[in-house]
Amino acid sequence: MSSAKKFDVIGHSRRRVDSRDKVTGQLRYADDLKLPRMLHMKLLRSPHPHALIEAIDVTRAQAYPGVQLVLTGKDFPVPFGIMPVAQDEYPLAPEHVRYVGDSVAAVVAKDEQTATEALALIEVKYKSLQTIATPDEALAQPQARIHDYTDVGNIHRNQAFEFGDVEEALAGSDYIFEDLFFYEGDNHLAMEQHAALAKNEGEGKLTLWTSTQDPHYLHRQLARVLQMSAAHIRVIACNNGGGFGGKCDPAGHEFVVSKAALMLGRPVKICLTREEVFYLHRGRHPVLMKFRTGVSKEGKLTGMHLQTLLDGGAYGSHGPASTFYTGVLTPLTYELPRFKFDACRVFTNKPACGPKRGHGTPQPRFGQEVQLDKIAEKLKFDPAELRLNMVTKADSLTANWLKIGSNGLAECIRQVVDGSGWKKKHGKLPGGRGVGIACSSYMTGAGVSIYWNKMPHSGVQLSLDRSGQVTVFCGATEIGQGSDDVLAAIVAETLGISTKEVRCITGDTGITPIDLGSYSSRVTIMMGNAALQAAGRAREMLVAAAAEQFEVLPESIVLSRGRVFAAGDANKSMSFAEAVVYAETKFGTLGTVGSYTPPKPPGKFKAAGVGPSPAYSFSACVVEVEVDEHTGWLTVPKIWIAHDIGRALNPVLARGQVIGSVYMGLGEALMEEQVFRRLPPKLSNALVHKIPSMLEYKSITSLDMPEVEVYLIEDPDPNCPFGAKEVGQGPLLPVMPAVANAVFDAVGVRIDEVPITPEKILRALHLKREGKIARVGPEHFPDVPYVEPTFVLPPAEGGDGNESKRPDRKAAGKLAERTAS
Amino acid sequence: MNTVLKKVDRRNAQISLRVNGEELEVSFAPYKTLLEVLREDLDLTGTKHGCELGECGACAVLVDGVPLLSCLKLALECDGASIETIEGLAEGPELHPLQAAFSDHGGSQCGYCTPGVLMTAKALLDKEPNPSRERIKEALSGNLCRCTGYQQIVDSVAEAARAMREREVKA
Amino acid sequence: MMRLPWFQYRAPASVMEAARILAGEGPQGMLIAGGTDLLPNMKRRQQTPATLISLSKVAGLKKISNDSGLTLGAGLTLTEVVGASTVREKYRGLYQAAAQVATPHLRNMGTLGGNLCLDTRCNYYNQNEDWREAIGYCMKREGTTCWVATASKRCLAVSSTDTAPALIALGAKVRLVSSAGERELELASLYNNDGMEYITRKPDEILTEIVLPANNGWKSTYWKLRRRGSFDFPLLGVAAALRLAPDGTVEDARLVLGAVSSQPLPVAKASAFLVGKKLDDAVIAEAGTLAASRAKPMDNTDLDVYWRKEVVPSFVGYALREIRGDDMRALRMRIARQEL
């Protein structure tokens, strides 16, 4: 009997609650909204990568027929930023522009055409500054500062942590593998371009409808930047036409459109063009990585020193978190007794990078999984066996103090190995064909909020009335992942009704309890647990009222399929609505709340808050490829992926998240890249996005996408609602390295960077034919002035989770000898 | 910015259209494409836009039964044309089999590419009631989707085709 | 939303009327057929005609006539070209080229004539006005430098039409009509190797017809290199048309490369080399090398420029092997991602 049988709703594939509006074109995204007397806004953007604004003359634009308002940087004295430590961005740049596309002025007019025409009438005088195009330049030119609020040159963040003495572990290893990898940056390319509509309501109050994943954080930033009471601001997160992390940051245009609406007393709307979305960016950081990994001859990891260098672009964004994430989640997948990471993020004159699906983790995951493939090759292990022998265990602590709960990774590996016919294929396929494997893990919600507080991460409010209607309120945001469906399903299951009977009101800071937002795969667990509590409390009232009515013990009351009845007595049954009437009679107006706060992380050292999660998901992936040895042309005919989801609340949607993650990972593996063009510096300062269009920023089409075989591994996690862990991000992570490893299996060349293009494969094949090292990837890691690491003893070495002094290496060695004897 | 602001005739243009079976007259700024007229002058915002340059397929509608990109169709050239948009796909309160299949089989996640995909798929099934998976992928190869990885879209179209053939047999 | 600039709109009913309006408007007037090339360019302000002269109401531009050869109206959509059984059966290279242009939607809109007149492309040029301002514009519009090769005296924008190489290989001619009269010319001579002056059509001429000679035993094919199975313009097009004797000896050959120059590039030396030979592997390889020597891809489109040159012989080989009769279906599937 499958576990789903116990439930009426959970575990059954169902039509999602918001699908009807989506398939009928009735769903209103932000740009679909229209209000009486609405005006339109366009932004003027810097054509210079790095410059000072010497003067702005807006008089001609202001006088242009149809123009209502022109705003510039002087109208916005307060900066913003999603992270409290990186408030470094202005809605309109007051004096310093830092990339081509930085916004400097706004025109509000009767229509977009008029606003666009008026932009051309604004005259801006710039003074060019030195262009910093790459991290190498950022490090080499510390005097040409893009920001002056950080400690050193163009270094934004510099973080270093060491969990156990890694050099000692490496010295004691049978092998040390040292590899460089590079992961190119890429954009979310959500189909919906960001749009926002602001309206002045009541006495100086503001309502903003916008395509945001995080209405709560935006709400706080709006209050700060507009210098008004947060209680007078209402942010309504419209359904996002895709987010993927690209709508997590507050965006400059959201402040400008709000200010304009308040000043004019008329609604003002803006919708970015696709090019502007590429400038807003906040996408995957380009990361250069160096792995030094110790391995025993039994194929176990002994220690790892990981160094990362992130190209952050022009602003902070989520950068402080992104920088941590290039390190902290690394020890979750395989047992790693000691771990050290140095991570540095630098500023460059390009659009700011930020969080994209997998936030900071795909890059080191790519590196580690390709390196493991090299380790297996050298040690003559089967790559799947090597991994299976070192997977982390359930209910364990990693060296860096992350608490793993349920862990289905071993089963994931077994499933994809069996399903793909791995043992018959790996090393055995003829003619340029090959298979590669990789695994991953990801967090089910960040354990700590972006700003420090002890309040709940998610709140849910439930109201029921005598009509039998159930309305559930939550600040969580539907970005396409199905969060409304999760909310409805949990409430419906708990109350014994169908999801059709539950009305979801979400993502509205004016009427829904706070939820931190749709990021870090946190919604199912956090909103779900809050919903479980709220619905559980409502259920208790219904049960009490029904038990009284039937004159039975509350324990015998069952709520199922729209009925409330006493178990074992067919005469004692009523409809759900009747039960609500009795409950309303007994308790008065019915309403319950629930909230959720994640458990305290076990680590106590400073910055131990980044990485902990109430639960972790695990994935394993096998990719099959065909490589043409004459051209390097790469084809991916099939992908197998297993994902440890804990429990699938709605399997058809869960599978959709897995396939969608595989799709996006495959795009990053093969073609997606946010790249820039530097014109010859002798002739020009220009540094432009090379391809800010849907045509030239390549994303996979229906014809390029292979069939994906999905295995959902269901081992319910006790920290999660009905055991359901995350599924929206984790399954992306193993795809890129599995492609690289499959290319090696096919033609024996290593591509140590993404995207993996036919040109790189052919270049590596030429090197192979010439007898050289058959590898294309980064050759050089610059001299990064990393800081001294915070040292923390791992749990297995008797640490208490606090920062400590590094144990004396000699003494430790003696201790080891004693232990050995 | 180098735009030369020319003296032009800025009066509205007017055309007749048949939109989802309804005859109507619409007055609009003549530089507008069909996309802009549908969304802004007829308030039919079900048709989406992702690039306005013919690079994504989000704005696909049927013009005289043929799937086109409304972002590259001058509204002026649509005088007398019959336009089908997502708003007209359902048969009264009944979902079109494609809409039902997309709802049941994960064909729509964020929903933003969905109207363009559905209208394109409708044109396919109107002409080819029993397309192979490969044929479905070809027909939808001008519609980018960032959520689904296309697999459940193809599943949904195949399922709708099956349901429509079944309905045909019953009728 | 990207919007078109203001323009005047004319919709003549006949070719002659269109030609008269075109002549009257001078350089400020532009023809619009499918609009799939012109309208994006106008939205990006690459082209800002004061008047659009629509060919949508012009009668007679959609004819398909099978006389001694095949005459195709310039106003046929690419979908209509692909759907024409004569094209599919007798002019396979054109069928394969037209079927790989852009996407199904764009083929439903874009015309054959439009694809032949397609503006040359360059990723320093096919950008919004703000972007072009950020690089100080380029030679093709409002600037002076060709950023692809800053020493270049001419614009290096790329000919990106799929159908032109296929049609040139098939020996097509085109008919051009102006208010002063009409002329027919070899399609190959419609083009110049100059990214700006890429077309020899005079500003007052309208391309009305494409005339193909009778098939007479010619076999043709078209192979397209692009990143994805859809959307993308060619990074390389290889069109081949050959007439083979019953014993397989090449009697006549026309190889044309696309997207490696500012014009479709007939590779005469490689074509001449094939004549009198049988298509064995060595001959095919040599023809590939000869063809590749003429290809000059530039770093102004997708993928690595050296790689694009390096794979020319392979793609020429695919074309010649298909004509030889090899089963190329699996390879075609891997390259084109669809049956053709």
Cβ–Cβ below 8 Å for B109 and A481: yes
Cβ–Cβ below 8 Å for C2 and B52: yes
Instruction: Write the pLDDT tens digit of every residue in C109-151.
Output: 999 999 999 999 999 999 999 999 999 999 999 999 999 999 9
Q: For A645-650, what is the mean pLDDT? A: 98
Taking the C-alpha atoms of residue B23 and residue B21, their distance in angstroms, rounded to an integer, is: 7
The partner residue sitting opposite A703, judged by closest CB among C128, C135, C338, is C338
Residues of A in contact with C337 (CB under 8 A): 703-704
In three-state form (DSSP H/G/I as H, E/B as E, the rest C), the secondary structure along A719-787 is: CCHHHCCCCCCHHHCCHHHHHHHHHHHHHCCEECEECCCHHHHHHHHHHHHCCCCCEECCCCCCCCCCC
- Which secondary structure element, helix H or strand E, spans residue A237, and what is its range? strand A233-237
According to the model, what pLDDT value does residue A810 have? 57
Task: List Cβ neighbours of A368 (8 Å cut-off, separation of 6 or more).
Answer: A291, A293, A304, A330, A333, A737
* CA A563 to chain centroid: 40
B39 shares contact with chain A (CB less than 8 Å): yes
Name the residue with tokens 């140590």.
A752
Instruction: Write the pLDDT tens digit of every residue in A747-778.
Output: 999 999 999 999 999 999 999 999 999 999 99
Would you say C223 and C97 are in contact if contact means Cβ atoms under 8 Å apart?
Answer: no
The first and second tokens of residue C302, run together, are: 């997708």
Instruction: Write the pLDDT tens digit of every residue in C180-212.
Output: 999 999 999 999 999 999 999 999 999 999 999
Nearest CA in chain C to B123: C105
Q: For A293-321, what is the mean pLDDT? A: 98
Q: Work out the pLDDT band at B6, boundaries 50, 70, 90.
A: low
Give me the sign of the Cα torsion angle A49, A54, A58, A60. negative
Instruction: Write the pLDDT tens digit of every residue in A721-736.
Output: 999 999 999 999 999 9
Best of B113, B151, B152 to disrupt the A interface by mutation (most A CBs within 10 Å)? Answer: B151
According to the model, what pLDDT value does residue C205 have? 97
Would you say A44 and A103 are in contact if contact means Cβ atoms under 8 Å apart?
Answer: yes
Nearest CA in chain A to B148: A660
pTM of the model: 0.97
Cβ–Cβ below 8 Å for A242 and B146: yes
Q: For C239-258, what is the mean pLDDT? A: 98
Taking the C-alpha atoms of residue C110 and residue C114, their distance in angstroms, rounded to an integer, is: 6
A671 shares contact with chain C (CB less than 8 Å): yes
* CA A658 to chain centroid: 14
Q: Is the model's pLDDT at A812 over the cut of 60?
A: no
Would you say B102 and B114 are in contact if contact means Cβ atoms under 8 Å apart?
Answer: yes
C-alpha to C-alpha distances, C151 to A494, A680, C69, C156, C301, nearest whole angstrom: 73, 12, 45, 11, 19
- Shortest CA distance to B67 belongs to which of B51, B47, B52? B47
Touching A (3+ Cβ pairs <8 A), the chains are B, C
Residues of A in contact with C303 (CB under 8 A): 757-759
Taking the C-alpha atoms of residue A92 and residue A79, their distance in angstroms, rounded to an integer, is: 9
- Please give the mean pLDDT across all residues of chain C: 97
Query: How many angstroms away from the CA of C9 is the closest CA of chain B?
Result: 8
Taking the C-alpha atoms of residue A600 and residue A605, their distance in angstroms, rounded to an integer, is: 13
Q: Is the model's pLDDT at A819 over the cut of 50?
A: no
Would you say C70 and C64 are in contact if contact means Cβ atoms under 8 Å apart?
Answer: yes
A32 shares contact with chain B (CB less than 8 Å): yes
According to the model, what pLDDT value does residue A491 have? 98
The partner residue sitting opposite A703, judged by closest CB among B105, B114, B137, is B137
Q: Work out the pLDDT band at A813, boundaries 50, 70, 90.
A: very low
Taking the C-alpha atoms of residue A282 and residue A317, their distance in angstroms, rounded to an integer, is: 7
Residues of B in contact with A695 (CB under 8 A): 51, 53, 55
| DSSP string of A130-181, one letter each residue | ----SHHHHHH-TTS-S-SSSSSTTEEEEEEEEES-HHHHHHTSSEEEEEEE
Instruction: Write the pLDDT tens digit of every residue in A134-178.
Output: 999 999 999 999 999 999 999 999 999 999 999 999 999 999 999
Residues of B in contact with C129 (CB under 8 A): 1-3
Query: How many angstroms away from the CA of A284 is the closest CA of chain C?
Result: 21
| DSSP string of A242-306, one letter each residue | --TTTTSS--HHHHHHHHHHHHHTS-EEEE--HHHHHHH---BPPEEEEEEEEE-TTS-EEEEEE
Would you say C141 and C46 are in contact if contact means Cβ atoms under 8 Å apart?
Answer: yes
Q: Give me the phi and psi of A514, to 5 degrees please.
A: -70, 130
Name the residue with tokens 């109208």.
A75
Nearest CA in chain A to C145: A683
- CA distance from start to end of chain A: 52
Nearest CA in chain C to B140: C104
According to the model, what pLDDT value does residue A3 have? 46
According to the model, what pLDDT value does residue C67 have? 84
Cβ–Cβ below 8 Å for C3 and B36: yes
Q: For B1-20, what is the mean pLDDT? A: 77
Which A residues, 47 through 106, put their C-beta within 8 Å of a C-beta on chain C?
Answer: 47-48, 100
C-alpha to C-alpha distances, A814 to A196, A796, A817, A819, nearest whole angstrom: 64, 18, 5, 9
Q: Work out the pLDDT band at A205, boundaries 50, 70, 90.
A: very high
| DSSP string of C48-62, one letter each residue | --SEEEE-TT-TTTT
Which A residues, 263 through 322, put their C-beta within 8 Å of a C-beta on chain C?
Answer: 271, 273-275
Taking the C-alpha atoms of residue C185 and residue C167, their distance in angstroms, rounded to an integer, is: 13
The first and second tokens of residue A428, run together, are: 């055995």
Instruction: Write the pLDDT tens digit of every residue in B45-91.
Output: 999 999 999 999 999 999 999 999 999 999 999 999 999 999 999 99
B10 shares contact with chain A (CB less than 8 Å): no
According to the model, what pLDDT value does residue B87 have? 98
Strand pairing report for A616-627 and A634-644:
antiparallel
Touching B (3+ Cβ pairs <8 A), the chains are A, C
Within 13 Å and on the Cβ side, how many CA atoms surround C276?
3
Residues of C in contact with A698 (CB under 8 A): 227-228, 232, 302
Residues of C in contact with A690 (CB under 8 A): 123
Instruction: Write the pLDDT tens digit of every residue in A462-513.
Output: 999 999 999 999 999 999 999 999 999 999 999 999 999 999 999 999 999 9
Nearest CA in chain B to A31: B45
Residues of B in contact with C3 (CB under 8 A): 31-32, 36, 52
Instruction: Write the pLDDT tens digit of every residue in C23-53.
Output: 999 999 999 999 999 999 999 999 999 999 9
Q: Is the model's pLDDT at A647 over the cut of 90?
A: yes
The partner residue sitting opposite B144, judged by closest CB among A244, A480, A694, is A694
Q: Is the model's pLDDT at A814 over the cut of 70?
A: no
Name the residue with tokens 């619905």.
A535
Which A residues, 2 through 21, put their C-beta within 8 Å of a C-beta on chain B?
Answer: 13, 15-16, 18-21
According to the model, what pLDDT value does residue C248 have? 96
Taking the C-alpha atoms of residue C69 and residue C60, their distance in angstroms, rounded to an integer, is: 18
The first and second tokens of residue C289, run together, are: 């090398």
Q: For C158-183, what is the mean pLDDT? A: 98
Residues of A in contact with C6 (CB under 8 A): 113
The partner residue sitting opposite C3, judged by closest CB among A113, A628, A691, is A113
The partner residue sitting opposite B109, judged by closest CB among A31, A660, A700, is A660
Cβ–Cβ below 8 Å for B43 and A703: no
Which A residues, 146 through 205, put their C-beta within 8 Å of a C-beta on chain C?
Answer: none
According to the model, what pLDDT value does residue B7 have? 63
In three-state form (DSSP H/G/I as H, E/B as E, the rest C), the secondary structure along A459-495 is: EEEEEECCCCCEEEEECCCCCCCCHHHHHHHHHHHHH
Percent of chain C clearing pLDDT 70 (strictly above): 100
Residues of B in contact with C128 (CB under 8 A): none
According to the model, what pLDDT value does residue A202 have? 84
Cβ–Cβ below 8 Å for B53 and A21: no
Residues of A in contact with B149 (CB under 8 A): 659-660, 662-664, 700, 705, 708
Q: Work out the pLDDT band at C288, boundaries 50, 70, 90.
A: very high
Residues of A in contact with C235 (CB under 8 A): none
C-alpha to C-alpha distances, A289 to A286, A292, A316, A358, nearest whole angstrom: 10, 10, 20, 17
Cβ–Cβ below 8 Å for B72 and C35: yes
The partner residue sitting opposite A703, judged by closest CB among C134, C145, C230, is C230
- Please give the mean pLDDT across all residues of chain A: 96
ipTM of the complex: 0.97
- Please give the mean pLDDT across all residues of chain B: 95
Q: Which amino acid is at A695?
A: L
Task: List Cβ neighbours of C228 (8 Å cut-off, separation of 6 or more).
Answer: A671, A698, A700, A701, A703, A704, C337
Q: Work out the pLDDT band at A634, boundaries 50, 70, 90.
A: very high
Taking the C-alpha atoms of residue A106 and residue A437, their distance in angstroms, rounded to an integer, is: 50
Q: Work out the pLDDT band at A720, boundaries 50, 70, 90.
A: very high
| DSSP string of B44-106, one letter each residue | -TTS--S-SSSSS-TTEEEETTEEEEGGGSBGGGGTT-EEE-GGGTSBTTBPPHHHHHHHHTT
Best of B32, B49, B69, B112 to disrupt the A interface by mutation (most A CBs within 10 Å)? Answer: B112
C-alpha to C-alpha distances, A511 to A63, A267, A312, A475, A507, nearest whole angstrom: 41, 21, 36, 8, 9
Nearest CA in chain B to C99: B138
Taking the C-alpha atoms of residue A404 and residue A797, their distance in angstroms, rounded to an integer, is: 18
Cβ–Cβ below 8 Å for A241 and B105: no
The partner residue sitting opposite B69, judged by closest CB among C5, C48, C105, is C105
Measured at the CA of C121, the angle between CA C117 and CA C125, to 5 degrees, comes to 130
- Shortest CA distance to B35 belongs to which of B21, B49, B24? B49
The first and second tokens of residue A137, run together, are: 């330049």
Nearest CA in chain C to A99: C134
Cβ–Cβ below 8 Å for B31 and C39: no
Residue A783 pairs with which residues in a beta bridge?
none
Q: Which amino acid is at C176?
A: L
Would you say A169 and A337 are in contact if contact means Cβ atoms under 8 Å apart?
Answer: yes
The first and second tokens of residue C250, run together, are: 């090449």
What are the respective helix, strand and coil percentages of chain C, to the nearest 5? 35, 20, 45
